[in-house]
Amino acid sequence: MTKFIPDLGDETLQALVEALTESGQAVSLYDAEDRLRYANKTYQGMLLGDYEGPYTFTDILRHAAKHGLGVRIDDHDVEAFIARTLPRRRSVPRKSFETDLVDGRWFWMDHTILPNGWVLSVGADITALKHNEKTLRMAHEEALAAARTDQLTGLPNRRHIFELLDETLASRGVGSSLCTVIIDIDGFKAINDTYGHDAGDAVLEHFARVCRERVRVQDYLGRMGGEEFLLLLPEVRLTDAVPIVERIRKEFPLVRLGSSGLELTYTFSAGLTEALPHDDRVSILHRADRALYAAKADGRNCTKASFEGRTPTTWTKAF
């Protein structure tokens, strides 16, 4: 096979220059001393504007930064940017990277060192792809959040609050502590039967909102299902956990039921336990659940604490 030797006559070169100029890609050619020898229309729009020289790489960067052109520099320190860029500019024969511009566009750059030491850069506009990528990422994050969130209360759902419990148990260090509280709204079935399910939903939303306002920032509150909630209190001992639960209970506000304006009061029972060194999710929830049932058996509207191998103890009771 005969090797093709292109005819680079004046007409061919003119056609090549016109193609590069109108291609939409950003094409530039710097010589071995980093002086700009060729820039097509797109590249000129990116970095040069009405610049009239000198056309060294560093001078062009300074001009662009001063006139709101070119690459976005996070710290706005063009000299520091130049100092970081120059050592990498000819460090490898060829590299590809993405860069974002001050005007919000993104380009994928192919950077090639030619045999004579000149630098050829060809950039493709990938702004639409980056926007699509951002949209997909946001959609993924929203879907993930939805999969972890109880739609009614906005709290972590059963799956997510259990994941948080597992993570908190696994990450405990020596001497650290964790208390878990299972909370059940008293007489919830009667609320639904008397006032309807919309009233029940209002009570659940109300409890979640009031509870969030009264716990610490580092605490986790999630809905286990129905009228049951799980409260995780990291770095809290059992005796210190009781005041936190009672702060939620104290002077609990009335809930207003929709457009009817009816105000309803309700109470809750709580079962509380502190994590032991060998605890996993099953064992710690079992003790908290025992304490909750004991609280309900004792007349509800109270907090009981459960210890390993001991009968749950009433710590507080509201009347």
Reported as a single tens digit per residue, the pLDDT across 128-158 is 988 888 888 888 888 888 899 999 999 999 9
* Given the residues 33, 141, 205, 227, the one annotated as active site: 227
Instruction: Please identify every stretch of the chain with a pLDDT value under 50, giving residue numbers as ranges.
Output: 1, 309-310, 317-319
pTM metric for this prediction: 0.62
Domain residue extents for the chain: 10-131, 153-317
Cα 249 to Cα 20: distance, rounded to the nearest angstrom: 73
For domain 153-317, the CATH architecture is 2-Layer Sandwich (3.30)
What pLDDT is attached to residue 319? 30
Residue 33 annotated as catalytic? no
What pLDDT is attached to residue 318? 42
Choose the CATH number for 10-131 among 3.30.450.20, 3.90.1150.10, 3.40.50.970, 3.30.70.3280: 3.30.450.20
What pLDDT is attached to residue 10? 67
What pLDDT is attached to residue 312? 56
What pLDDT is attached to residue 137? 87
